[in-house]
């Protein structure tokens, strides 16, 4: 018996010496061996594959350069050290195709239990789709480097594919007061594919679009340090099935949505005008926090439908700037800014003060929208309800093990406006991001919500 054990040990030793860990296939999983580790600090100039048997450690701002494609296999983990990010430039692409069983994870290089938002930068995709400020733009959060230009005139530009991808603990401040978002998209076009994405525990925004026409489907933005979804510079994409949830904190978290056209010219074209359907937006639920559901400003348009908003202690929606309110739908469907089929619950002071008091005199220095009273617009909409309980579970406020499925008898099933067209799921005949009573919601299994 001892001789047989000795021979077996010798075989294992030889295999360990002869076969590199990255080639051991199923044996590696069976023996629970640690993956090989590759440090990445240089630009990627040629088509490159990252595999799940290897752990990739970003040690600098890593650029996927013009003409190259970075292909990331399902189950791969990429970790970032301080002041790092992965930046896919205008003429490069990324193909990160995870699965529900094996998502691709971008996270901090610190050990679990020691991770905090801002441990590393984030993921940046740049493309050649239109923006509304003339010329090329440098993307927010990164130095003025020709490689971070974005924008152009190709509406169908392709930045690549992200599917079943998790981005965690991002938002490092590369320069003072200039953080990178968890996922940043500058000028990405309609051929870009993004679905089943989670951005968790960032310092700045979860996902931000700077112009372009890229679409987003099945996304979770959890515990952002600032806003959940942010857009400006003429973004005209589509979104369906989005969950935004703020952390239970008085220190972090601002708006569920922060929406702009362009700060320097509120009427610049192409105007920001996304279409957004099926959203569940959950604030901190902390009465001492300053979360707001939405800030819509600087001349942005939008079509927002089938949205549940709950737990924002400040207010539901703040419309700012006269150019913004001028776009509001007049009830006849002629406006470029419209809201419909919304449920607002437990919002504002005491849970039933839906809007903050605002000055109605345009001469008042605190007035930011020409004396417009948001409450008059929203409470006049037949399909927007204030105070009706969508029956989200108590765990919707749980930062670590959340549940966003409304009860089967939720009024979110009563009266909706499903989107129409081949890009949409037109069977989504409910308000919110998840069908009431769903026993296997689309976000289950591949998302995770670690505290640190």
pLDDT per residue over 407-428, tens digit each? 999 999 998 989 999 999 999 9
39-413 CATH:
2.160.20
Which pLDDT score, from 0 to 100, does residue 247 have? 92
Q: Is the pLDDT of residue 10 over 50?
A: no
Closest residue by Cα to residue 243 from 292, 207, 203: 207
Strand partners, 168: 200
Closest residue by Cα to residue 271 from 248, 311, 302, 250: 302
Q: Is the pLDDT of residue 319 over 80?
A: yes
Q: Is the pLDDT of residue 119 over 60?
A: yes
Contact 233, 131 (CB under 8 A): yes
Which pLDDT score, from 0 to 100, does residue 370 have? 81
Which pLDDT score, from 0 to 100, does residue 19 have? 39
Which pLDDT score, from 0 to 100, does residue 25 have? 43
Average pLDDT over every residue of 287-299: 94
Tokens of 342: 């919304």
Which pLDDT score, from 0 to 100, does residue 132 have? 95
Contact 140, 269 (CB under 8 A): no
Q: What is the bridge-based pairing of β-strands 178-179 and 173-175?
A: antiparallel
Residues 358-376 have pLDDT tens digits of 755 555 556 777 888 899 9
Q: Is the pTM of this model over 0.85?
A: yes
Secondary structure (H, E, C), the chain: CHHHHHHHHHHHHHHHHHCCHHHCCHHHHHHCCCCEEEEECCCECCCEEECCCEEEEECCEEEECCCCEEEECCCCEEEECCCCEEEECCCCEEEEECCCCCCEEEEECCCCCCCCCCCCCCEEEECCCCCCCCCCEECCCCCCCHHHEECCCCCCCCCEEEEEEEEECCCCEEECCEECCCEEEECCCCCCEEEEEEEECCCCCCEEEECCCCCEEEEEEECCCCCCEEEECCCCCEEEEEEEECCCCCCCCCEEEEECCCCCCCCCCCCCCCEEEEEEEECCCCCCCCCEEEEECCCCCEEEEEEEEECCCCEEEEECCHHHHCCECCCCCCCCEEEEEEEEECECHHHECCCCCCCCCCCCCCCCCCCCCHHHHHHHCCCEEECCCCCCCHHHHCCCCCCCCCCCCCHHHCCCCCCCCCCCCCCCCCCCCCCCCCCCCCCCCCCCCCCC
How many residues are present in the chain?
Answer: 452
Widest CA span in the chain: 94
Residues 225-271 have pLDDT tens digits of 999 999 999 999 999 999 999 998 888 899 999 999 999 999 999 99
Mean predicted lDDT score pLDDT of the chain = 90
Closest residue by Cα to residue 408 from 437, 434, 435, 388: 437
């Amino acid at each position: 018996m001892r001789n047989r054990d000795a021979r077996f040990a010798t075989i294992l030793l030889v295999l360990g010496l002869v076969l590199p860990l990255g080639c051991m296939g199923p044996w590696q999983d069976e023996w629970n061996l640690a993956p090989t580790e590759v440090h990445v600090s240089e630009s990627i100039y040629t088509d490159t594959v990252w595999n799940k048997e290897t752990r990739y450690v970003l040690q600098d701002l890593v650029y996927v350069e013009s003409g190259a494609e970075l292909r990331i296999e399902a189950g791969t983990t990429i970790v970032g050290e301080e002041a790092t990010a992965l930046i896919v430039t205008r003429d490069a692409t990324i193909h990160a195709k995870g699965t529900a069983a094996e998502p691709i994870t971008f996270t901090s290089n610190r050990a679990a239990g020691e991770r905090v938002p801002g441990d590393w930068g984030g993921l940046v995709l740049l493309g050649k789709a239109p923006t509304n400020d003339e010329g090329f733009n440098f993307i927010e959060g990164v130095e003025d480097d020709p490689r971070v230009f974005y924008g152009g005139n190709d509406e169908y530009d392709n930045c690549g594919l992200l599917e079943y991808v998790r981005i965690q603990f991002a938002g490092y401040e590369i320069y003072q007061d200039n953080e990178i978002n968890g996922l940043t998209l500058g000028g990405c076009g309609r051929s870009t594919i993004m679905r089943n994405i989670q951005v968790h525990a960032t310092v700045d925004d979860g996902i931000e679009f700077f112009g372009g026409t890229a679409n987003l489907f099945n996304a979770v933005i959890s515990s952002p340090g600032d806003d959940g979804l942010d857009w400006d510079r003429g973004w005209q994409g589509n979104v369906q099935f989005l969950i935004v949830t703020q952390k239970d904190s008085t220190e972090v978290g601002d708006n569920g949505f922060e929406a702009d056209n362009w700060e320097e010219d509120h009427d610049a074209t192409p105007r920001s005008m996304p279409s957004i359907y099926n959203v569940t937006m959950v604030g901190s639920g902390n009465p001492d926090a300053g979360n707001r559901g939405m800030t819509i400003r600087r001349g942005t348009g939008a079509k927002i439908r089938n949205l549940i908003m709950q737990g924002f202690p400040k207010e539901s929606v703040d419309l700012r700037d006269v150019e913004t309110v001028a776009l509001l739908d007049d009830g006849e469907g002629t406006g470029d800014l419209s809201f419909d089929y919304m449920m607002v619950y437990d919002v504002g002071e005491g849970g039933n003060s839906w809007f903050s008091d605002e000055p109605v005199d345009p001469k008042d220095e605190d007035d930011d929208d020409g004396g417009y009273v948001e409450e008059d617009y929203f409470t006049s909409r037949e399909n927007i309800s204030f105070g009706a309980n969508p029956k989200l579970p108590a765990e919707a406020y749980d930062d670590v093990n959340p549940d966003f499925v409304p009860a089967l008898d939720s009024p979110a099933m009563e009266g909706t406006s499903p989107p129409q067209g081949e890009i949409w799921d037109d069977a989504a005949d409910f308000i919110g991001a998840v069908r009431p009573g769903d026993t296997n919601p689309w976000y289950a299994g591949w998302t995770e919500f670690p505290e640190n």
